[in-house]
Amino acid sequence: MTNMSTQAKVTIYSTPTCHFCHAAKDFFTANKVAFTDYNVATDLAKRQEMIQKSGQMGVPVIYVGDRMIVGFDEEQLRRLLGL
């Protein structure tokens, strides 16, 4: 199995009060997956970007490369990251 975590760019749109956002970031950290975190509670431009890309207001919105995952779906993340 190929470990894509070093290759795929991971981005998460999150808020500080979102339990699932924290779970996703803890998952990335535990699995040594580098990620970029955008706090859409304070970054209005990134909030608009997230809504435009995902069509919704819910967080987290996670991108692994160009694949979008809405919510924290550990099984799908493991598959996309090759974990």
Output the pTM of the full model. 0.89
Q: Is the pLDDT of residue 3 over 80?
A: no
Domain that holds residue 14: 4-81
Beta bridge partners of residue 68, listed in sequence order: 63
* Domain CATH code at residue 77: 3.40.30.10
Cα separation, 5 vs 65, whole angstroms: 10
Cis peptide bond upstream of 16, omega within 30 = no
> How many domains in the chain?
1
> How many residues would you count in the chain?
83
pLDDT digits (tens, 9 = 90+) for 39-73: 999 999 999 999 999 998 899 999 999 999 999 99
